[in-house]
Structure 1
Amino acid sequence: MKKYLFLSIAALSLTACISAPPGLERSPFTIQRLAQIQAEDYACQCKKARLGGKILAATALKDKTKLEILSLSISTYSAKPLLDSSVDGRFIAYLPGFVDPAMLKDRYITVAGALSGPENGKIDQADYAYPVVNTERYKLWRLVQEYYYDPDDWDDYWGARHSRWGWGWGSPFWRPEPRLRYNLY
């Protein structure tokens, strides 16, 4: 009985690790990728969008902060931008109030809010129509470097370590190299 209770608690705690931040759950949003936006979605200004990506530029305005964001696909459950996904395009998000632009540059973000009409701008010398999200909720993510060992490397290490001869790959001086990956928290 205690074993099942422990497993239940462990499963619940692990699901908490992958749930989206409050207000960014996926259910109320009709638009979750830039490719889903249709021309008629701008007319009503009532469509809810949940988008994310890397902040390219931030500008402090009088009563809000304007962000230009390179759109990336976001995780269905955690709402984190997927670092290895392909770029969807760009969009503009307006955050309520003042947020220091220096703090936002090159950060990752997920925004949720109402989709409003497109805003014309330029990317270098090319004209571009940016979809605009009037943000109600957002989450800034921290990019963290993590070192890890591939399980296959450890299998090779332990198999070679206990070899019969005790030299070469079986030498205690050989260790697998840690690998580097990036995660958002």
Structure 2
Amino acid sequence: MLTRTVSKKMSLLAMAGGALALSGCVTVPDAIKGSTATPVQQLSSVQNAPNLFAGAEARFGGTVVNVANEQGRTVLEIAAVPLDSGARPILGEPSRGRLLATVNGFLEPVDFKGQLVTVVGPITGVKEGKIGMTPYKFVTMNATGYKRWRLTQQVMMPPAPMGPWGWRSGTWGPGWGVGYGWYNPGPTQIQTIVTE
């Protein structure tokens, strides 16, 4: 009896560990993987020493503030935020600055303005501009790849109560004791996540 209980707990532990290990495997999409293993991702470093980073591959992401279509190319003005391990912009983070990413070809402004994107490509320097009436130095780059992200909501249910004898267990084992068949798991949460 004891061996079966230990075996059951070990198999549950192994399944939980496997699920945890698989959930931690986040990859960067091919479109924004880039050619170097560690592209520059600190916008403030580039803003402070743009000549030092000229030509270096960078990966930045955030919200598209403005879209300017020019002859044969599109310039995305992005309010950059930190990226997670999958190169997705982290929701709720304040902007770390702005950059201008030039993409070859035409991008429909309606499809990109206000959307989350990640861009990758070489840094080309700094360009003087304005945010409203305030002068600003924008980091510029040629985007060799980009990824537009979607926001999705998911419902997070709290876990059911567990005891040392299993799900909804009381002192006398599962299904016995006061409150059998009913439990209050707590409030349900709705989370907004960034997905492909």
The two structures have a TM-score, normalised by structure 1, of 0.75
- 1:106 maps to 114
Residues 44-55 of structure 1 mapped to structure 2, 5 A cutoff:
45-55=54-64
Query: For 1:65-107, what per-residue CA distance to the aligned partner results, in whole angstroms no more than 9, with x for missing partners?
Result: 11111100012x3111111333211111111100101000111
Alpha-carbon contact 1:42-1:115 (below 8 Å) kept:
no
Secondary structure at 1:111 match in 2: strand
Question: Does the alignment pair 1:155 with 2:165?
Answer: no
Unaligned runs of 5+ in 2: 1-10, 163-167
**Percent of aligned pairs with the same amino acid:** 25
Unaligned runs of 5+ in 1: none
Question: Does the alignment pair 1:180 with 2:194?
Answer: no
Using the alignment, how far apart are the partners of 2:138 and 2:169 within structure 1?
55
Alpha-carbon contact 1:34-1:89 (below 8 Å) kept:
yes
Distance 1:114 1:180, change over 3 A: same
Distance 1:37 1:83, change over 3 A: same
Using the alignment, how far apart are the partners of 1:162 and 1:100 within structure 2?
62
Alpha-carbon contact 1:146-1:182 (below 8 Å) kept:
yes
CA RMSD, Structure 1 to Structure 2 (Å): 3.4
Question: Does the alignment pair 1:35 with 2:44?
Answer: yes
Alpha-carbon contact 2:118-2:147 (below 8 Å) kept:
yes
Secondary structure at 2:83 match in 1: coil
- 1:115 maps to 123
Question: Does the alignment pair 1:66 with 2:72?
Answer: no
The two structures have a TM-score, normalised by structure 2, of 0.72
- 1:24 maps to 32
Question: Does the alignment pair 1:87 with 2:95?
Answer: yes
Alpha-carbon contact 1:43-1:117 (below 8 Å) kept:
no
Using the alignment, how far apart are the partners of 1:44 and 1:68 within structure 2?
19
Secondary structure at 1:37 match in 2: helix
Using the alignment, how far apart are the partners of 1:183 and 1:44 within structure 2?
32
